[in-house]
Amino acid sequence: MMSKILLVAINEYRVNVFKKSFIFVLLSVPLFLGFIIGFGMFMDSQENDDAPVGYVDTAGILQDATPAPVENPEEAIQFIAFETEQDAKSALEEGRIQAYYIFGEDYQESRNAELVYYDTPGQDATRQFNDFLQINLLSDFPSEIALRGTEGSSVTVRAPDGSREFPDGGPPFGIVLPVIIGLALMFLLMTAGGFMMEGVVQERENRTIEVIVTSVSPGQMVTGKILGIVWICLTQLVAWILFGILALFLAQNVYEISWFQNPVIDWEGMLAILLIGIPTFFLSVALMFTVGSTVAEAQEGQGLGPIIFILSISPTWFIMKIGEDPNGPFAVALSMVPFASLLTVGIRNMLVAVPWWQIVLSAGLQTVVALGAIWLGGQAFRFGMLRVGQRINLREIFRSGTPRRKKLSEGGVS
């Protein structure tokens, strides 16, 4: 029995993995994420300009100026003092500086300065000049006070129950990682379901499945196909993990992006996503198998994929409501809804520690629904064998799986 199931699984794996569509799907996610990250880095680089910035100090506040400390000395902007505004303007026109500040004689009283530029100066330039100005305005104070003035305010966001804490820049990478894993699982269940439905429909259309079932039972066929799809998705997942490790290495060591440095992984959040994601995955595959067993052509079943995708991303529509009360009735209820639960728990987990009883209950509900979908898929497959090339509705499937009672009378069967 197991050998037949393995043969079906191996065939399913071999047929799908060597398709061009599989290679495209395998590379699409890392390439898409790479494009988004690369585009963001490009836009960020366009907003920054390391050209010098000038200033005209008629107020005498920057005499014997002290440079402000910079986290990365290689990114330090040079500040050039000009005697007159005409000198600064000439330097700007010649492209020797990207902008210049003018401090009028009444600056000490008015605190008004003027910034002159052709193109908006980079964010690094304005930020560093503000630090440069502040540390020199506080030059009469001890150095530690002056430095504290340049650091500005620091806000820490903390959940009411104290389970989550992160700086005002947003949640750290380790907290966001379970959501990223959840999104990857969403892509997996989309592609897995698509492979399953397409394979079943094609085998019904070319009548290959009629030959196969002469050697294996419908139960073995369903189990083998699901096992083969699981192997396919594990191949995708391993490839994506390797891409992710490479991307993380580049972000930490080559580009030195601070958000990725020394991440503290939320292993409990990862486990919660996996507990809910695994039965959700089998639910998607089983539903697609059911549809593939009931439609006459592949085009007829393509509408289910978008429905599953919409349900999966639906928590993003309510992200503000979830954020207002992550442990409220609405957020908890949405955590139990099939497909929507995966992303809902991920979003909630960024804000608070989701109680384990809710995670276990959600995973249990997804498992029960998945088992029901697998049963339905088996019934659809058995009934579909008698109706090759014809569409089958759910009523017929349920009716075929319900025992019929016959009443016996003296005159015979009625």
pLDDT digits (tens, 9 = 90+) for 259-269: 777 777 888 88
Shared domain for 303 and 169, answered yes or no, is yes
**Domain containing residue 97:** 53-152
Q: Per-residue pLDDT averaged across 180-207, rounded?
A: 74
Cα separations in angstroms, 23 against 28, 30, 34, 212: 8, 12, 17, 27
CA 365 to chain centre: 24
In this prediction, residue 299 carries a pLDDT of 64
Q: The tokens of 232 are what?
A: 């396919």
pLDDT score of 318 more than 80: yes
Query: Is 359 found in the same domain as 210?
Result: yes
Same domain for 227 and 82 = no
Residue 80 has pLDDT above 50, yes or no: yes
pLDDT digits (tens, 9 = 90+) for 353-405: 899 999 999 999 999 998 888 888 777 777 766 555 556 666 666 665 544 44
Task: Read off the tokens for 273.
Answer: 């996503």
Q: Mean per-residue pLDDT for 101-112?
A: 90
The total number of structural domains in the chain stands at 2
Whether 355 and 211 share a structural domain: yes
pLDDT in tens, 120-159: 888 888 888 988 998 888 877 777 776 676 666 667 777 6
Domain boundary among 152, 177, 211: 152
Q: Which pLDDT belongs to residue 369?
A: 92
Q: Are residues 91 and 132 in the same domain?
A: yes
Does residue 134 sit in the same domain as residue 271?
no
Whether residue 246 sits in one domain with residue 114: no
Is residue 3 situated within a structural domain? no
> Is 278 in the same domain as 365?
yes
Confidence of residue 163 (pLDDT cuts 50, 70, 90): low
What is the distance between the alpha carbons of residues 266 and 174, in angstroms, rounded to a whole number?
6
- pLDDT score of 414 more than 50: no
- Confidence class of residue 220 from pLDDT cuts 50, 70 and 90? confident
**85 Cβ contact partners less than 8 Å away, ≥ 6 residues apart:** 56, 102
- Is 44 a domain residue? no
Residue percentage of the chain with pLDDT more than 90? 20
Q: Which residue blocks in 206-266 are alpha helix, DSSP H?
A: 208-212, 218-249
Whether residue 38 lies inside any domain: the answer is no
Task: Report the percentage of the chain scoring pLDDT > 70.
Answer: 78
pLDDT tens, position by position, 19-62? 777 788 778 777 877 777 677 667 666 667 789 999 999 988 89
Instruction: Give a yes or no: residue 408 inside a domain.
Output: no
User: Does any domain span residue 70?
Assistant: yes
pLDDT of residue 337: 94
At residue 115, does pLDDT exceed 50? Answer: yes
Q: Is a pLDDT exceeding 90 seen at residue 86?
A: yes
115 forms beta bridges with 101
φ, ψ of residue 316 in degrees (nearest 5): -65, -25
Higher pLDDT, 159 or 241: 241
Scored b (16 or more CB within 10 A) or e, 287-298 reads: bbbbbbbbbbeb
Whether residue 362 lies inside any domain: the answer is yes
What pLDDT is recorded for position 216? 72
Maximum average pLDDT range among 21-30, 275-284, 289-298? 275-284
- Measure Cα distances from 20 to 231, 266, 373 in Å: 17, 36, 29
Q: Are residues 278 and 165 in the same domain?
A: yes
Does the structure show a pLDDT above 90 at 69? no
Q: Average per-residue pLDDT in the chain?
A: 79
CATH number of the domain bearing residue 104: 3.40.190
Based on the domain organization, do 143 and 172 belong to the same domain? Answer: no
Residues 235 and 270 in one domain: yes
Q: Would residue 10 count as lying in a domain? A: no
Assess if residue 410 is contained within a domain.
no
- The answer on 166 and 145 residing in a single domain is no
pLDDT at 413: 44
